[in-house]
């Protein structure tokens, strides 16, 4: 029997642990939401317990697994297996996550950034199947990315390559990114910025047709609400989505010029904004790339979607 893979998607709200076969199919998974707030050692012990649980629930032994892959929502020092920093979880500053987890198991453990894991999932099993090179961009509360070159994840010197969310697309922007810089792609076009955009457009006099109370709390604005606005043709929601899509279009144009990839895959929660958003991204890209496209470049939506993090983490063992 071919050995199974164990994937762990350690998110800011959700922690998934699953068994995945070498074809990228999830055989079983456990999802929990009570890990935020725990310290690093407790998270390690919790993950250990969940992995053992899923192994025994399937009448397996540790030796039936190829290893354990874990996707982390932040910067990772890949070769040393350290987490450097994260804005989604408490702690994990320069924490030896790989080694801490390895101590509890006899099989190999691999640790990488979650967007790298998702990119590798698309490469092995999703929209990037059959390509040697691809760029994957995830657009949700933040913006992350993964680079696959010559069928391998490109990680750079430290392991933090692919942080396109922090490339600067508008130095005069009103929006300050979580990193402190003005006009990062993430600051201009991610979910976290939607409340500020909504306030700014309201102050500019654009009226929303969304039914909101007079004392509306702008911090409640999120992708779901903007999608509702789009569905009823709300001019304010549409203006926000147009701006966001244009910035993503600029972002993937820059990516195209740097890497000349045959395919760029877009995933993450904000892709649920729908067809107007996606087609506006593409039209901005083509408007900028004009006659500099010499071979077809595919711009497509992620196929693995919600399970990409889990499957991708497991697939790290196949790299």
CA distance 245 to 305: 19
Residue pair 28/19 in contact (Cβ under 8 Å)? The answer is yes
Site string for Zn ion, 87-116 (x = CB under 5 A): ------------------------------
Q: Output 123 or 164, the one with its CB closest to Zn ion.
A: 164
3-state DSSP call for residue 291?
helix
**Distance separating alpha carbons of residues 250 and 287, to the nearest angstrom:** 10
CB of 122 to Zn ion, least distance (A): 24
Exposed/middle/buried for 244, CB within 10 Å: 0-12, 13-18, 19+?
A: buried
Q: Site size for Zn ion, by CB under 5 A? A: 5
User: Number of helices and strands (H, E) in the chain?
Assistant: 9, 12
Cβ proximity of 178 and 142 under 8 Å:
yes
Binding status of residue 188 toward Zn ion by CB under 5 A: no
Q: How far is the CB of 166 from Zn ion (least distance, A)?
A: 4
Considering the complex, what minimum distance in angstroms separates the CB of residue 145 from Zn ion? 13
Q: Please say whether the beta carbons of 217 and 178 come within 8 A.
A: no
- Nearer Cβ to Zn ion (177/311): 177
Which one of the spans 5-13, 182-190, 194-202, 214-222 is the region binding Zn ion (CB under 5 A)? Answer: 182-190
Phi/psi of residue 67, each to 5°? 165, -170
Answer for which of 27, 31, 179, 292 binds Zn ion (CB under 5 A) is 179
- The site map against Zn ion for 158-177 (x = CB under 5 A) is --------x----------x
Select 121 or 252, whichever has its Cβ closest to Zn ion. 252
Closer residue to Zn ion in complex, CB, 127/177: 177
- Asked if 64 contacts 51 with a C-beta cutoff of 8 angstroms, the reply is no
Rounded CA-CA distance 48/60 in Å is 15
C-beta of 174: minimal distance to Zn ion in Å?
14
Enclosing H/E stretch for 139:
strand 134-139
Which of 65, 145, 184, 197 contacts Zn ion by CB under 5 A?
A: 184
Calculate the dihedral angle through the C-alpha atoms of 78, 81, 83, 89, rounding to the nearest 10 degrees: 120
CB of 279 to Zn ion, least distance (A): 27
- Min CB(177)–Zn ion separation in Å: 3
- Asked if 154 and 160 count as a contact pair (C-beta separation under 8 A), the reply is no
Phi first, then psi: give them for residue 133, nearest 5 degrees.
Answer: -130, 140
Nearer to Zn ion, 166 or 284 (CB): 166
CB of 197 to Zn ion, least distance (A): 16
| Residue 90 beta carbon to Zn ion: minimum distance, rounded to whole angstroms | 21
d(CA 185, CA 220): 22
Which is nearer to Zn ion, 179 or 258 (by Cβ)?
179
Closer Cβ to Zn ion, 127 or 137, answer by number: 137
- The residues binding Zn ion (CB under 5 A) are 166, 177, 179, 181, 184
């Amino acid at each position: 029997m071919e050995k199974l893979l164990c994937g762990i998607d350690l998110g800011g709200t959700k922690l998934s642990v699953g068994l995945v076969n070498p074809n990228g199919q999830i055989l079983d998974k456990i999802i929990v939401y009570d890990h935020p707030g725990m310290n690093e050692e407790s998270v390690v012990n919790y993950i250990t317990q969940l992995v053992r649980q899923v192994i025994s629930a399937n009448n397996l032994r540790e030796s039936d697994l190829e290893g354990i892959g874990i996707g982390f929502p932040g910067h990772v020092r890949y070769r040393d297996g350290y987490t450097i920093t994260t804005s989604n979880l408490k702690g994990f500053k320069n924490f030896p996550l790989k080694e801490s987890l390895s101590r509890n198991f006899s099989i190999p453990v691999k640790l990488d950034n979650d967007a790298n894991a998702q990119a590798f999932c698309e490469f092995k099993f999703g929209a990037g199947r059959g390509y040697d090179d691809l760029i994957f961009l995830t657009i949700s509360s933040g913006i992350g990315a993964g680079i696959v070159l010559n069928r391998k994840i490109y990680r750079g010197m430290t392991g933090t390559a692919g942080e396109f969310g922090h490339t600067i697309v508008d130095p005069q922007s009103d929006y300050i990114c979580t990193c402190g810089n003005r006009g990062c792609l993430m600051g201009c076009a991610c979910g976290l910025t939607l409340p500020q955009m909504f306030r700014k457009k309201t102050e500019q006099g654009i009226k929303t047709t969304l039914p909101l109370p007079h004392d509306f709390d702008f911090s409640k604005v999120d992708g779901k609400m903007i999608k509702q606005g789009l569905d009823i043709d709300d001019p304010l929601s549409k203006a926000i989505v147009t701006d966001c899509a244009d910035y993503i279009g600029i972002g993937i144009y820059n990516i195209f010029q740097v890497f000349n990839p045959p395919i760029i895959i877009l995933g993450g929660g904000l892709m649920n904004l729908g067809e107007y958003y996606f087609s506006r991204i593409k039209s901005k890209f083509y408007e900028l790339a004009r006659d500099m496209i010499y071979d077809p470049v595919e711009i497509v939506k992620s196929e693995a979607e919600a399970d990409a993090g889990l499957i991708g983490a497991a697939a790290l063992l196949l790299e």
